Amino acid sequence: MDTNKVIYAIYNDDEVLMDAVKQTRAAHHHIEEVYTPFPVHGLDKAMGLAPTRIAICAFLFGLTGLSTAIWMMNNIMIVDWPQDIGGKPSFSYYQNMPAFVPVMFEMTVFFAAHLMVITFYLRSKLWPFKKAENPDVRTTDDHFLMEVSVAGNEDDMVSFFKNTGAVEVKVIEKHEKH
């Protein structure tokens, strides 16, 4: 088990946090994570995080739902059990497609939505009964916490974060299991 130190810089305003993140990056300190009680717009860009590819997943999941709907309706309504419903011919899929559009739409949305939620939870490593990793309970209410790796002089880093507007700065021994 290795131990290393991190600094918890706690802020009480999102604009001060944004400025602090920019100053921290400019000073070449490595930001491990930022905990906020609500989404802070632009924080991901300020932290230098890569853009998410989850929209590509949503598109692929929607295509999967659309393909499943087309396959399902063709097999059920045309191949397996063709019926004359309201005078509509049941000889081919394309003749019945206008009636199938609502089902195709709903299956596309259903697959995209449900598979996106599952993907988000798996990607974020969130599953039932997982212990919370929130380092300070105040970040669920009204405070913001920036976790930064200690590199170099610890006292200089603490004073740096106090100068960025942090209301509280703590140095913590973080334990990592290998």
CATH number of the 2-37+142-176 domain? 3.30.70.1150
> What pTM does this model have?
0.70
Q: Is the pLDDT confidence value at 167 over 50?
A: yes
Q: Return the axis-axis angle of helices 54-73 and 93-123, rounded to nearest 10°.
A: 140
- d(C-alpha 115, C-alpha 102), whole Å: 20
Residue 151 is predicted with a pLDDT of 85
> Would the pLDDT of 1 be above 50?
no
* pLDDT tens per residue, range 56-99: 999 999 999 999 999 999 898 888 887 777 766 667 777 778 88
pLDDT at 3: 52
pLDDT at 175: 67
Question: 106-165: per-residue pLDDT in tens?
Answer: 999 999 999 999 999 998 888 888 888 888 889 889 999 999 998 888 889 999 999 999
What are the tens digits of pLDDT across the range 7-61? Answer: 999 999 999 999 999 999 999 999 999 999 999 999 999 999 988 888 999 999 9
C-alpha 83/C-alpha 4 separation (Å) is 70
Sheet architecture: strand order including 2-11: 31-35, 144-149, 2-11, 168-176
Provide the residue ranges of all domains of the chain, joining segments of one domain with +.
2-37+142-176, 54-123
91: nearest Cα among 102, 79, 99, 101: 79
Distance between CA atoms of 134 and 139, rounded to whole angstroms? 8
Q: Are the C-beta atoms of 52 and 173 separated by less than 8 Å?
A: no
Tell me the C-alpha distance between 119 and 61, whole Å. Answer: 10
Of residues 145 and 1, the one with the higher pLDDT is 145
